[in-house]
Structure 1
């Protein structure tokens, strides 16, 4: 590609398809311009995900430093490229990353967008005009020793690693909120339910502790999924054979990138396999789906437990967030659990997209990594937002209805199970049937029949006795 001057508002750039006018103020070039025109799909451009832009700049900086060290890139060019990358990593020029996230070409347009922006900024730093690629070229200099096929997946991994760490922070805060409620509700007795039917007594604290424990398992799974994201394929170039990269490049560029990012990075042991394999993305997506399923199940529970407040369970009260109806005065809906449910549905759908795209790879490359990336970035971002909303605008403000909960225990036929060790199965079965038939409470009938006193029943209904295995 070469550049000639034209009208003040534009410059002319050339590629293998011919010449195009590029806005004079644009830091991107002709390849990016064509991609902008070719892929008006989602309306979500690369700049929407700063982690990805910064990951691309980190890789280009590492490559320039490695190429200079190995003697294949002029030190002056390398210094300009490094300075341009440092500026982008600090937040500059992100608006110039203008290609749609969903694109054909296996990510080539993303890589070229980065190459062109970095090249043009480096040219400016060297005192030259944008587009003067005879002095510093997007492909020959910025992309030296690289291919889209090793740059793009490695950048995706770095970006998803950063986004996953933020999600972990949000999950941790949400887990602490559940654990705090578990402590606050430790002595609040209630009926447990299975298949939406009365089961046996438990404490509300145990219920909330179980939510925290489930989320802790997801945190462990997500941490485990970070390790494959720290395995990169730089040096693989086109298909994993390392063509056009100098000897020693793979090790040097990995070390440079590890220094820039502060991450313990590893090079994939088989670069041909790494170039075509999307297993790290599939594994991450599976963990995000698992987390979404758990959160959605918890939100289902919260909506049931807070249902009513007069004609439902009314075990707990959710903090009121907004008026719930345009026609029904006084109605307040569980809007925060509802929005987290919807995030979960999206994440589950995104996982299917990732699975299909990963399966569709052919031979030495998967051409569908852009939709994998878009799906995972959405899942990571929305799950993080969902966890934060659930923690700050729902869980922290939940209240218990202890009188309602104890009354439910006292009147439920499920109380018979708790009395079974003292009264025997035959008598508790009979009393449970009578309670259901008459609508009277188990405790009331037991006292009336003289089988136990009120004081004895109260003793048996202590939470510490009802909610753990019986002492020998």
Structure 2
């Protein structure tokens, strides 16, 4: 049976689990917001970094004693280094105050109680360190929450998303080289087109992912500019001049990444444009993956009655009723992730436009949603790379068979005999179910020898040399 301690806040007394590091305001949030799920730790941990940086900065500006500053810093380090011991201490729902005040106070209370414990105090008494007076010194939820979102996104993208996309790009690049000399039917509008090499097709995929990576990296530059020090409405009330620069320098040292003070704190407190931009770039990258997955799904269709030019690795049985079936499961996972990311981007976009006057009031759902998108794209990129692309192989026999049947090889004849005669050859071949060569011969436009000299698929995959 859970035992409780009695805590007091500005509204009165609250019963809090006796061993909990959180306090009265967190307990009220637990009771008042029984909605959805808890805040992502990718938001919580950057918030703790902010609190650590604030303790250091406030001591530097002689607002906080060395003893209290050190205790707060040590408490933050304990949480960051041993997250498994504190994972249940951040239970506040995503769906709370639009500013994220309940999460800010949750973090303040956990750090305060841990710091008091380190100084010999008891949980809930705040004898030495108070959640508001000390842990939240020089801060407001209104500047720390958007800063925590931005820091968390930069860390998550740098640590997870970009490495996963590099893995995917690498596997696609290997296939580009492996398939370099395989000439196949090109397709436009799902209809046969002029030849292309399978390597050229995959080079397009490599380029897509490479440019997506560049766009995401470029967006991180804006996400690295923080509104920290803006406090309640962007004016910096209750801070000392220079605090904001101390904060970004400390956060940069702590994370190993470069953060700066934003140019206009009023903008970043009242809007969420940097995160909206990041979400849009994640959506674009997700669209790239979706296109690649769909192409591979089509090209591997069959194996007997489809296009069948690619062979997917057999990762698991495809059907509970049809023996021997191999389905494009990784491709379908990509499709579903893309659907989710599209919805997430709509949420972030709508939430980003929801600020009234000096404050955006959709912060918690923005934080939760953007981190879900980053996590999903990171995980599906690596999974797709390792469980689909890596084991992908070309069905050379089927590729050659399809190429030889393609009527669009007739395009090579156009410079020699003109569009009209070439079209006539193609139509006759289709109508009579004969080859282009036979059709050209029947129409007395070309001999077999002349046809073979002109129609060489391997010479149709690049411009003619002068």
Same fold (TM over 0.5): yes
Give the corresponding residue for 1:4: none
Quote the offset at 1:306 in angstroms.
0.8
Give the corresponding residue for 1:396: 390
TM-score, normalization by structure 1: 0.94
Give the corresponding residue for 1:133: 126
Give the corresponding residue for 2:112: 119
Give the corresponding residue for 2:44: 53
Q: Residues 29 and 131 of structure 1 are in contact (CA less than 8 Å); yes or no, is this contact kept in structure 2?
A: yes
1:31-46 pair list within 5 angstroms: 31-43=25-37, 45-46=38-39
- Structure 2 counterpart of 1:70, from 55, 61, 67: 61
Give the corresponding residue for 1:457: 452
Alpha-carbon separation, structure 1, partners of 2:87 and 2:218: 31
Alpha-carbon separation, structure 1, partners of 2:453 and 2:136: 77
1:94 aligns with 2:87: yes
Alpha-carbon separation, structure 2, partners of 1:141 and 1:374: 27
In structure 2, the CA distance between the partners of 1:454 and 1:97, relative to structure 1 (3 Å rule), is farther
Alpha-carbon separation, structure 1, partners of 2:31 and 2:441: 81
What are the superposed Cα offsets for residues 149-176 of structure 1, whole Å, 9 maximum, x if unpaired? Answer: 1111111111111111111111111011
1:17 aligns with 2:11: yes
1:85 aligns with 2:80: no
Alpha-carbon separation, structure 2, partners of 1:447 and 1:392: 49
Pairwise CA RMSD of aligned residues?
A: 1.8
Quote the offset at 1:79 in angstroms.
0.7
Count of equivalent residues: 462
1:157-306 pair list within 5 angstroms: 157-165=150-158, 166-306=160-300
Quote the offset at 1:9 in angstroms.
2.4
Alpha-carbon separation, structure 1, partners of 2:420 and 2:295: 33
Alpha-carbon separation, structure 2, partners of 1:200 and 1:338: 28
What are the superposed Cα offsets for residues 397-456 of structure 1, whole Å, 9 maximum, x if unpaired? Answer: 111111211221221111101232334323311110111101222134346658243596
TM-score, normalization by structure 2: 0.95
Quote the offset at 1:38 in angstroms.
2.1
Quote the offset at 1:238 in angstroms.
0.3
Quote the offset at 1:462 in angstroms.
4.8
Give the corresponding residue for 2:426: 432
Q: Residues 84 and 118 of structure 1 are in contact (CA less than 8 Å); yes or no, is this contact kept in structure 2?
A: yes
**4+ runs deviating over 6 angstroms:** none
Deviates more, 1:437-446 or 1:181-190: 437-446
Q: Residues 120 and 131 of structure 1 are in contact (CA less than 8 Å); yes or no, is this contact kept in structure 2?
A: yes
- Structure 1 counterpart of 2:351, from 357, 373, 382: 357
Quote the offset at 1:358 in angstroms.
0.9
Give 5+ residue unaligned stretches, structure 1. 1-6
1:414 aligns with 2:435: no
Alpha-carbon separation, structure 2, partners of 1:345 and 1:445: 47
SS of alignment partner, residue 19 of structure 1: strand
1:377 aligns with 2:377: no
Give 5+ residue unaligned stretches, structure 2. none
1:333 aligns with 2:327: yes
SS of alignment partner, residue 95 of structure 2: coil
Q: Residues 231 and 237 of structure 2 are in contact (CA less than 8 Å); yes or no, is this contact kept in structure 1?
A: yes
Alpha-carbon separation, structure 2, partners of 1:54 and 1:91: 11
